[in-house]
């Protein structure tokens, strides 16, 4: 991933140094387990654990000759160990180390993403409570519907990110799986007991039935969970973009001193962060598609997945890390315009009360539902076209004359629409116990 969208902590997980260090952890754990079972000398295992070092430039030099990165890695590390290095990689095939090391990297990356999700959810919960009573117009099909509050909108986002968090956690847990079962998964060279001990030391599960590799349904599910999470953020960012329209103007992205919105038009304050998040979500979906394509490997394995994963897994986790941190900062600094929300609601001429008027005409006005619907629709469309208050037209309609004025007034009572908002906001308590960390949103991201 390009540096612009790479935050330091996540980027460090995917460096060549980190990749080979993860593979070395596997090799050291294998040597220790083999020593416990009397398969290699204890002194050799100790030498591997204490002396083994990764030298990325040397690995690259050797790979230019071997054209095989794992062989180059094993040779380079053996050089640092000395004579005992001959016991390194004993009985292993490349994918034993590659897939198990990759599981360690993905586990570390998932940990960062879950912390990011916690931080974003925390911000959403706080701002949802802050705006629990900030009334705005709800919209369906981009058209005024009925009043809601901005807090309810943000609460929905918090619950969606919480679902995303559970999806990422589940997929990451499934992916935290390694194997040492050899070239075709039959344990021809390493006993299952060795595998079990190594995976326990590394904090991974052992694949119950592998081939030469851990099957790629796990990786596909992980990438899919990341893409779904990106899609959630895209939905939220799209809403911020829509509410930022000049004609709506209910929210604005934070605009810091010195920031420029346009090189030609000094008045511009564009929703650039939201637009960027929407664009990056498209990339996440592309990486998920690549992960799905990796599932159908030939026989006990081929290598067609390898080149894809070298790009897709680092890039997808790095991008989602950036997306979540950026989104949390965006929500934290989001400028909310309650006065504009009120203005837009009143511009609706009371049409949002049409449903309550319909019910009142049936319950208290004595009309059938079809007749009531026709009365309400006729007056509502006339109000919209003539820009006249909907209540005035309904009150003057002879077919609505049987509806008592007090009942008609009650139809337009804003509190009636929002009486259950405290219940909805109160449900945010269900999200909070899942939060395990915070502060990630404060990390610096490029503008």
The b/e string for 148-173 (b: 16+ C-beta within 10 A; e otherwise) is bbbbbbbbbbbbbbbebbebbbebbe
Name the token pair of 334: 């989001």
> What one-character DSSP code corresponds to residue 257?
T
Check 50, 262, 355, 368 and give the catalytic one.
262
Task: Tell me if residue 37 is catalytic.
Answer: no
Helix (H, G, I), strand (E, B) or coil at 129: helix
Task: Tell me if residue 262 is catalytic.
Answer: yes
Helix (H, G, I), strand (E, B) or coil at 12: helix
Distance, CA of 138 to chain centre: 25
d(CA 122, CA 40): 50
- Burial label for 76, CB within 10 Å (0-12, 13-18, 19+), is buried
* Cβ count within 10 A of residue 230: 27
d(CA 341, CA 358): 25
d(CA 204, CA 194): 13
Residue 159: enclosing H or E segment and its boundaries?
helix 150-175
List Cβ neighbours of 129 (8 Å cut-off, separation of 6 or more).
151, 425, 428
Check 141, 267, 299, 420 and give the catalytic one.
141
d(CA 114, CA 394): 53
Residue showing tokens 């989104």: 327
Query: Are residues 332 and 338 in contact, defined by beta-carbon separation less than 8 angstroms?
Result: no
Query: Are residues 165 and 110 in contact, defined by beta-carbon separation less than 8 angstroms?
Result: no
Query: Are residues 274 and 238 in contact, defined by beta-carbon separation less than 8 angstroms?
Result: yes
Where are the strands (E) in 186-303, listed by range? 205-206, 251-252
Backbone angles phi, psi at 192, to 5 degrees: -55, -30
Bridge pairing between strands 177-178 and 205-206: parallel
- Burial label for 64, CB within 10 Å (0-12, 13-18, 19+), is exposed
Backbone angles phi, psi at 178, to 5 degrees: -120, 180
d(CA 236, CA 206): 38
Residue 147: enclosing H or E segment and its boundaries?
strand 143-149
Query: Which amino acids are annotated catalytic?
Result: 141, 262
């Amino acid at each position: 991933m390009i540096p612009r969208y790479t935050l330091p902590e996540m980027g460090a997980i995917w460096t060549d140094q980190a990749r080979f260090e993860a593979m070395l952890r596997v090799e050291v754990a294998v040597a220790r387990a083999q020593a416990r079972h009397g398969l290699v000398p204890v002194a050799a295992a100790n030498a591997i654990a204490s002396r083994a070092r990764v030298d990325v430039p040397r690995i690259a030099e050797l790979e230019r000759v071997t054209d095989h990165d794992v062989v180059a890695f094993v040779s380079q590390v053996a050089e640092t160990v000395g004579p005992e290095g001959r016991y390194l990689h004993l009985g292993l095939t490349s994918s034993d180390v590659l897939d198990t090391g990759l599981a360690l990297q993905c586990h570390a990356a998932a940990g960062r993403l879950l912390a990011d999700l916690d931080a974003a959810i925390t911000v959403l919960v706080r701002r949802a409570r802050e705006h629990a009573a900030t009334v705005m117009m709800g919209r369906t099909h981009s058209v005024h519907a009925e009043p809601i509050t901005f807090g309810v909108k943000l609460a929905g986002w918090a619950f969606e990110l919480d679902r995303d968090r559970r999806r990422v956690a589940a997929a990451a847990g499934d992916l935290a799986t390694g194997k040492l079962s050899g070239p075709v998964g039959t344990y021809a060279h390493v006993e299952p007991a060795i595998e079990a001990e190594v995976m326990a030391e590394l904090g991974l599960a052992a694949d119950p039935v592998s081939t030469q590799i851990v099957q790629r349904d796990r990786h596909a599910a992980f990438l899919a969970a990341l893409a779904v999470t990106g899609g959630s953020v895209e939905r939220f960012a799209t809403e911020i973009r829509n509410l930022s329209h000049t004609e709506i103007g209910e929210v604005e992205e934070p605009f810091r001193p010195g920031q420029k919105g346009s090189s030609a038009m000094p008045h511009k304050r564009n929703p650039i962060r939201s637009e960027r998040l929407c664009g990056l979500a498209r990339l996440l979906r592309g990486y998920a598609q690549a992960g799905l394509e990796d599932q159908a490997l030939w026989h006990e394995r081929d290598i067609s997945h390898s080149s894809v994963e070298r790009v897709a897994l680092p890039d997808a986790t790095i991008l989602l890390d950036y997306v979540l941190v950026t989104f949390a900062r965006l929500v934290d600094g989001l400028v909310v315009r309650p006065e504009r929300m009120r203005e837009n609601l009143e511009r609706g001429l009371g049409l949002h009360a049409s449903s309550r008027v319909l019910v009142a005409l049936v319950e208290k006005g004595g009309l059938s539902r079809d007749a009531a619907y026709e009365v309400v629709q006729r007056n509502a469309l006339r109000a919209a076209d003539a820009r006249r208050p909907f209540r005035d037209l309904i009150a003057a309609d002879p077919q609505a004359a049987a509806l008592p004025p007090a009942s008609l007034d009650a139809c337009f009572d804003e509190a009636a629409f929002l009486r259950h908002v405290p219940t909805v906001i109160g449900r945010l308590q269900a999200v909070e116990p899942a939060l395990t960390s915070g502060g990630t949103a404060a990390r610096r991201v490029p503008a």
